[in-house]
Amino acid sequence: MNLYGLLGFTHNGGRTLTVMSPEGASAALAEVAAGPDVVVQAGPGQLTYYLERRRGALQKLIAAHGIVVLDKPAWGTKKAELGPGVFD
């Protein structure tokens, strides 16, 4: 499965990772097992979102699952390319 990620920050400086897949949001959520150092937020019609609780946890998650991290312009392009199916 191809997984694409976008790193970001919360308003209070926490690190985040949003993940999308051509197979849809539910498939991406099932594929990525987060440990206790990452909080997962997911729901119907939204992309899976991970919040780092311990420094380095997102990098471990990315490496463990082969997530391709994109910059913001590439993320927008890939999201448009994949279409609305990423939210399923």
pLDDT digit string (tens) for 16-51?
Answer: 999 999 999 988 888 888 888 999 999 888 999 999
The 10s digit of each residue's pLDDT in 44-84 is 889 999 999 999 999 999 999 999 999 999 999 999 999 99
Q: Where are the alpha helices (DSSP H) in 1-88?
A: 25-31, 57-65, 72-82
- The pLDDT-based confidence of 13 (bands split at 50, 70, 90) is confident
Total number of domains constituting the chain: 1
Q: Is the pTM of this model over 0.75?
A: yes
Q: Which of 87, 54, 53, 74 is nearest to 5 (CA)?
A: 74
Domain ranges, residue 49: 4-87
